[in-house]
């Protein structure tokens, strides 16, 4: 190992197959193929960041070119080839970053080098990192050489080793010529033992709970875990143990304990305490979307705490948090938790269209408090997780929990609103049957801005009497729905429901007109009259078509 490096991710980088953690099957497969001399022309390593793709590439290069035999592969005292490969300066093992060399010319230059045999090693090896960044032409240039690599007088040949995090971006023609190895995330318990051993080797004074937090944040990436451990060691005084609370401050991580405490107050029906805890969490810099995703995670633990207790190798919650969840969940109704889950999903979708996401989350918490106040015998959850409500004080737009949310309602008129000067006994002669009628009415009423929005930025999904459904469009003005609702009430003396939908609606009025105009132009250009005109006036150009009465 490179003891000169101060960065733990490099200092403790594996140098032989046995050092690699979490990928034993892959290590054994490659080791056996080299041992019996049945190695592929090209290796392809794929997986998330920090699980060992480039590390495997270098170990394979060493195993193929080490001056000792495979059983005595260099580990402590490196041979000339292994040392050069570790330092990325071996003349026959060329490492390329495809993110900076993406063109076909770069690949052609590489293939030109493949014509010449290795100088000091048995095999000539090209290691291409982030290979998915290569252009289509560059991939095509590789095909022939990948399938039939040259053989050299040394007895060896040419080997390609690819590494990528985006396997789907690699052409199937390349994939079919490679031996593919999918590197998985390293399991929590295995990664914990690894960094604990490194921590002890570095004389670090870090608690197990803090190390478990590092494992959770790293999400199965060894490099991320070592980088976080490096940061923790640099931030901590060796005379004092780094606790879980210290680690949370160092990494800026959201403490799940406060979220569990918030759940406790929700189940108790204490609105003031619930909002107080949420605002403290928000003030720590936690985004509403992150908060709701963590909220879903804690909901899962409440619903499945009995299974979670047996799964001791997962470090998402510490012992104190598990005990707290277990205590709170003793008398909880499973139906309420399923209902909470549906409301959280709905609120996550609402965040896409609301201006102030923080307010939306606060109202979400208030709604949960009202739902919890319903007695358990008033909620019936069947096998399809359909929920029926028997209390009238709930929101009227809540439907069955298994029903997908396809639209968000936005109504600005209040129930008891009365238009000033409106005589309820008088008849209203304004009729709006479709979008064209509405646009024409805006033109008549001199509402030019509203007319512009309707023509240019509205994708209509459906239009009925008293109800308009349109697709979500980021180009729409922020107050468009509010203004349109108010104007419709003023003009028709009737409340209209304007809904934003995730469905894709029709083309805008402007797009439809443009398409119609183009079609008319194309029809005329294909006509015999236009062709005769061109014979006489060769430089003539048709720019507009206008229909006129006879």
- Residue 308's pLDDT band (boundaries 50, 70, 90)? low
Q: Are strands 467-471 and 460-464 parallel, antiparallel or unpaired?
A: antiparallel
410 and 347, same domain (yes or no): no
495 and 418, same domain (yes or no): yes
Mean pLDDT of 389-394: 37
- In order, the DSSP letters of 200-245 are HHTT--B-HHHHHHHHHHHTT-HHHHHHHHHHHHHHS-TTS-B-HH
Beta strands in 32-123 (DSSP E): 42-46, 93-97
- The answer to whether residues 268 and 253 touch, using CB atoms and an 8 Å cutoff, is no
pLDDT at position 548: 63
- Name which residue leads in pLDDT, 27 or 237: 27
In a domain? residue 43: yes
172 and 41, same domain (yes or no): yes
Mean pLDDT of 223-251: 85
Return the minimum-mean-pLDDT range out of 43-52, 140-149, 402-411: 402-411
Of the residues 377, 405, 433, which one is the last residue of a structural domain?
A: 405
Q: What are the start-end ranges of the H helices in 316-432?
A: 319-328, 334-350, 357-372
Number of alpha carbons in the 13 Å side-chain half-sphere of residue 506: 15
* Nearest one of 378, 364, 367 to 282, comparing CA atoms: 364
pLDDT at position 515: 82
Of the residues 251, 284, 303, which one is the last residue of a structural domain?
A: 251
411 and 372, same domain (yes or no): no
- The answer to whether residues 211 and 192 touch, using CB atoms and an 8 Å cutoff, is yes
208 and 307, same domain (yes or no): no
109 and 193, same domain (yes or no): no
Contacts of range 431-435, beta carbons closer than 8 Å, 24 or more positions apart:
432/488, 432/492, 433/465, 434/463, 435/460, 435/463, 435/509
Report the alpha-carbon distance of residue 304 to residue 89 in Å, rounded.
Answer: 53
pLDDT at position 392: 37
Report the alpha-carbon distance of residue 111 to residue 115 in Å, rounded.
Answer: 7
Of the residues 135, 152, 182, which one is the last residue of a structural domain?
A: 182
Task: For CA atoms 282, 288, 289, 294, give the dihedral sign.
Answer: positive
- Residue 309's pLDDT band (boundaries 50, 70, 90)? low
In a domain? residue 128: yes
Query: In whole angstroms, how far apart are CA 230 and each of 202, 313, 474?
Result: 10, 23, 43
Q: Is 491 left (phi over 0), alpha (psi -120 to 50) or beta?
A: alpha
Residue 213 belongs to what domain range?
188-251
What 3-state class would DSSP assign to 485?
A: helix
286 and 360, same domain (yes or no): yes
DSSP bridge partners of 162: 44, 128
Statement: residue 390 has pLDDT above 50 = no
Total domains in the chain come to: 5
The secondary element (H helix, E strand) that includes residue 116 is none
Tokens of 497: 């429901």
324 and 435, same domain (yes or no): no
Q: Is 473 left (phi over 0), alpha (psi -120 to 50) or beta?
A: beta
Which residue bears the tokens 């990664």? 191
Report the alpha-carbon distance of residue 540 to residue 544 in Å, rounded.
Answer: 12
Number of alpha carbons in the 13 Å side-chain half-sphere of residue 305: 21
Report the alpha-carbon distance of residue 177 to residue 168 in Å, rounded.
Answer: 15
Give the total residue count for the chain: 550
Report the alpha-carbon distance of residue 129 to residue 164 in Å, rounded.
Answer: 6
137 and 238, same domain (yes or no): no
Statement: residue 381 has pLDDT above 60 = no
Number of alpha carbons in the 13 Å side-chain half-sphere of residue 148: 1
Q: Tally Cβ neighbours within 10 Å of residue 234.
A: 10
Mean pLDDT of 301-310: 70
pLDDT tens digits, 455-477: 888 888 888 888 888 887 777 77
pLDDT tens digits, 207-232: 888 898 888 888 889 999 999 999 99
Return the minimum-mean-pLDDT range out of 391-405, 418-432, 509-523: 391-405
Highest mean pLDDT, choosing among 354-368, 369-383, 472-486, 519-533 = 354-368
What 3-state class would DSSP assign to 533?
A: helix
CB within 8 Å of 99: residues ≥ 6 apart: 129, 130, 133
Q: What letter does residue 184 receive in the DSSP assignment?
A: P
CATH number of the domain to which 26 belongs: 3.40.50.300
- Residue 175's pLDDT band (boundaries 50, 70, 90)? very high
169 and 309, same domain (yes or no): no
Claim: this prediction has a pTM higher than 0.85: no
The burial class, CB within 10 Å (0-12 / 13-18 / 19+), for 467 is exposed
CATH number of the domain to which 194 belongs: 1.10.8.60
Give the N- to C-terminal CA distance of the chain in Å, as an integer.
Answer: 91
Return the minimum-mean-pLDDT range out of 120-129, 227-236, 372-381, 484-493: 372-381
Statement: residue 317 has pLDDT above 50 = yes
CB within 8 Å of 303: residues ≥ 6 apart: 334, 337, 338, 341
549 and 456, same domain (yes or no): no
Report the alpha-carbon distance of residue 416 to residue 428 in Å, rounded.
Answer: 19
333 and 361, same domain (yes or no): yes
In a domain? residue 168: yes
Statement: residue 377 has pLDDT above 50 = no
Q: Are strands 158-164 and 42-46 parallel, antiparallel or unpaired?
A: parallel
In a domain? residue 511: no
């Amino acid at each position: 190992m490179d003891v000169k490096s101060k960065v733990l991710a490099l200092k403790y980088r594996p140098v032989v197959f046995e050092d690699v953690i979490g990928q034993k099957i892959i290590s054994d497969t490659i080791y056996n193929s080299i041992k019996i001399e049945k190695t592929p022309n090209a290796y392809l390593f794929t997986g998330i960041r920090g699980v060992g793709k480039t590390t495997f590439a270098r170990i394979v290069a060493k195993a193929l070119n080490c001056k000792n035999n495979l059983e005595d592969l260099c580990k402590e005292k490196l041979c000339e080839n292994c040392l050069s490969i570790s330092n990325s300066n071996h003349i026959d093992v060329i490492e390329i970053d495809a993110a900076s060399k993406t063109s076909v010319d770069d690949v052609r230059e590489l293939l030109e080098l493949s014509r010449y045999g290795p100088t000091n090693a048995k095999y000539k090896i090209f290691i291409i990192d982030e290979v998915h960044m290569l252009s289509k032409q560059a991939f095509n240039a590789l095909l022939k050489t990948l399938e039939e690599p040259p053989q050299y007088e040394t007895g060896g040949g040419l080997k390609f080793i690819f590494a990528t995090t985006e396997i789907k971006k690699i052409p199937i023609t390349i994939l079919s010529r490679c031996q593919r190895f999918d590197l998985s995330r390293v399991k929590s318990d295995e990664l914990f033992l690894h960094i604990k051993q490194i921590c002890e080797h570095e004389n670090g004074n870090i608690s197990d709970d803090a190390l478990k937090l590092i494992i959770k944040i790293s999400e199965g990436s060894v490099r991320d875990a070592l980088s976080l451990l490096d940061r923790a060691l640099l931030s901590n005084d060796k005379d004092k143990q780094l606790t879980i609370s210290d680690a949370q401050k160092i990494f800026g991580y959201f403490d799940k304990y406060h979220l569990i405490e918030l759940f406790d107050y929700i189940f108790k029906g204490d609105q003031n305490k619930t909002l107080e805890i949420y605002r403290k969490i928000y003030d720590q810099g936690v985004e509403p979307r992150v908060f709701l995703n963590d909220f879903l995670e804690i909901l899962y633990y409440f619903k499945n705490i009995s299974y979670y207790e047996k799964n001791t190798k997962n470090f998402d919650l510490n012992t104190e948090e598990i005990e707290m969840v277990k205590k709170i969940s003793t008398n909880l109704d499973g139906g309420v938790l399923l209902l909470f889950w549906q409301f959280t999903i709905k609120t996550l979708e609402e965040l896409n269209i609301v201006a102030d996401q923080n307010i939306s989350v606060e109202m979400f918490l208030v709604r949960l408090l009202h739902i919890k106040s319903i007695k358990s015998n008033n909620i019936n959850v069947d096998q399809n997780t359909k929920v029926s409500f028997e209390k009238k004080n709930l929101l009227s737009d809540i439907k069955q929990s298994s029903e997908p949310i396809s639209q968000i309602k936005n109504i600005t008129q209040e129930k008891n609103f009365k238009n000033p000067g409106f005589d309820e006994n008088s008849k209203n002669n304004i009729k709006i049957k479709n979008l064209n009628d509405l646009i024409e009415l805006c033109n008549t009423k001199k509402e030019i801005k509203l007319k512009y929005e309707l023509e240019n930025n509205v994708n209509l999904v459906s239009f009925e009497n008293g109800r308009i459904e349109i697709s979500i469009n980021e180009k729409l003005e922020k107050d468009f729905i509010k203004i349109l609702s108010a104007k419709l009430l003023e003009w028709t003396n009737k409340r209209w429901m304007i809904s934003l939908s995730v469905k894709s609606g029709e083309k805008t009025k402007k797009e439809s007109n443009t398409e119609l105009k183009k079609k008319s132009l194309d029809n005329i250009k294909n006509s015999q009259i236009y062709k005769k005109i061109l014979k006489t006036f060769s430089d003539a150009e048709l720019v507009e078509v206008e229909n006129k009465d006879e």
